[in-house]
Amino acid sequence: MPLINSKEMLKLAHEGKYAIGAFNVNNMEIVQGIIEGAKKENSAVILQASAGARKYSNPIYLRKLVEAAVEESNLPIVLHLDHGDSFETCKQCIDDGFTSVMIDGSHYPFEKNIELTKRVVEYAHERGVTVEAELGQLAGIEDDVNVSAEDATFTDPDQAVEFVERTGVDSLAIAIGTSHGAYKFAGEARLDFARLEKITNLLPGFPLVLHGASSVPQQLVQMCNSFGGDIPGAKGVPEEMLRDASKFGVCKINVDTDLRLAMTAAIRKVLIENPAEFDPRKYLAPGRDAIAQLVAHKLRIFGASGSAAKLMK
């Protein structure tokens, strides 16, 4: 089957109360690892490329890799732009064959975010491409952050409704306490589920997206550190919270950091245990396998196992 947009994929996820995994891709081994994991779970999957990924890999290589993944796996796959920063970047990706784009206007004032998102939606929808936008600022909840500070950065439920209505966007990334990277919480992990529930109730059936949702598995952090790494105090979103979020309208969960940790831990182990090794395949293959294993596990946590079947009819 060809690359598809995310409309039906996220709709089915919403109805089934599970979330689709959206994994960041940067090179061949990462694409292959994710696809192996998705195949194992017979799961639909979103492969997403950031601006940094497109710069690193040269957009044409990345696109061709994803096309190869589609052909080889025959799974329902979306090629999505992660954190598009302008209309021009989104347009470029749409023209290049991406089936979904994110326009991240979250750092702009509300009206400007709406205006920018609307412009992307118009261009994308005319071409059958779905659009994700973002409202609110990602940030971890520090132990001493008070409610008014959370109100200032987290997604305002009423604004979310107005934003969705006025832009016609297909999905919305919300801020409820997650953040990008490996250091998400200084103290105890905490997400604002009351806010999530409010947003979901105000936007029935509408797909929400959780960024910064890596769990930072401690076993991977320890493995990195025990083979020469130095990433102390890394902490992510507990898996139970992701499972809960998927039952409250979160239909797409973004994961990049965990892929990086899995791949790096595996590569570090090979290189430290085999100092004479210098064939890249000898460490990239275990890196790829580690990603496959991680992705399969995530998809089970998200409830996405078996989600390919309904989309393949």
Ligand X SMILES: O=C(CO)COP(=O)(O)O
Ligand Y SMILES: O=C[C@H](O)COP(=O)(O)O
Residue from 27, 48, 57, 106 binding Zn ion (CB under 5 A):
106
* Termini Cα distance of the chain: 10
b/e sequence 115-142, b meaning 16+ C-beta within 10 Å: ebbbbbbebbeeeebbbbbbbbebbbbe
Contact pattern for ligand Y over residues 171 through 210, marking x by CB under 6 A: ---------x------------------------------
Residue 235, phi then psi, degrees to nearest 5 = -150, 135
Residue 167's closest CA among 209, 125, 107? 125
Q: Work out what residue 255 binds among ligand X, Zn ion, ligand Y, none; the CB cut-off runs from 5 to 8 Å by kind.
A: ligand X
Clarify whether 82 is annotated catalytic.
Answer: yes
List 104, 132, 156, 258, residue binding Zn ion (CB under 5 A): 104
Say whether 257 counts as a known binding-site residue: yes
Ligand-binding annotation for 297, yes or no, is no
Do the beta carbons of residue 102 and residue 134 sit within 8 Å? yes
- Our finding on whether 241 is near ligand Y (CB under 6 A) is no
Is 214 annotated as contributing to ligand binding?
yes
Q: Does 134 bind ligand Y (CB under 6 A)?
A: no
The Cα–Cα gap between 293 and 37 comes to 6
Please, what is the minimum distance in Å from the beta carbon of residue 180 to ligand Y? 5
Q: Hey, what are 313's tokens?
A: 């009819």
Annotated binding residue 256: yes
Q: Is 255 annotated as a binding residue?
A: yes
Q: 134 among the known binding-site residues?
A: yes
Question: Rounded CA gap, 36 and 73, in Å?
Answer: 8
Closest by Cα among 57, 209, 56 to 130: 209
Binding characters for ligand Y, 58-97, by CB under 6 A (x = yes): ------------------------xx--------------
Q: Which alpha helices (DSSP H) does 4-130 contain, by range?
A: 7-16, 28-41, 51-57, 59-73, 87-96, 110-125
Cβ neighbours of residue 241 closer than 8 Å, sequence gap 6 or more: 189, 191
Choosing from 54, 63, 211, 269, the residue that interacts with Zn ion (CB under 5 A) is: 211
**Do 87 and 53 contact (CB within 8 A), yes or no?**
no
The verdict on 27 binding ligand Y (CB under 6 A) reads no
Interface with ligand Y (CB under 6 A), residue from 29, 41, 132, 256: 256
Residue numbers in the known binding site for dihydroxyacetone phosphate are 181, 212-214, 254-257
Known catalytic residues? 82
| Residues contributing to the site for Zn ion (CB under 5 A) | 104, 106, 134, 211
Residue numbers in the known binding site for Zn(2+) are 83, 104, 134, 180, 211
